[in-house]
Amino acid sequence: MSEVLSAEEQAALVALAEACNWSINAHVSVEAFTRKFKTHLRGDAKKTLKKLKKRGYCTPHPTGGSTTYQLTDPGLIEAKLILARSSETR
C-alpha cells in the first residue's frame, strides 16, 4: 500500500495477524490482541487498533459479548510485507 505506517502501527498490525493466526477468517477480541503487548503498552495498542480500522487494515466484527476484530485482505498483505522487510534487515 502507498500509506506509510508508523512503527507502532506496524507492530500492532503484525500482532493482530499473529492473534488471528494469519487468517482473514478468524476474529479475535481486543483482550486477545492486547495480550501480545506488555501491560504498560496495552492502552496504546487499543488506540492503534482503531487507527488500523480507519485505514482499512482490520474490521470490527460485533458478537454477542463484545466486539472482535478481523484482518482484511490489505491488512494481511501489509503484515506479511512488514514481516518480510524485518527479516531482510536482520
Q: What is the pLDDT of residues 28-55, one digit of tens each?
A: 999 999 999 999 999 999 999 999 999 9
Those residues whose C-beta lies under 8 Å from the C-beta of residue 46, and which sit 6 or more positions away, are 30, 34
Give the separation between CA 27 and CA 3, rounded to whole angstroms.
24
> Mean pLDDT across the stretch 4-12?
93
**Residue-range domains of the chain with CATH:** 7-85 (1.10.10.10)
| Confidence bin at 86 (pLDDT 50/70/90) | confident
Asked if pLDDT for residue 1 goes beyond 60, the answer is no
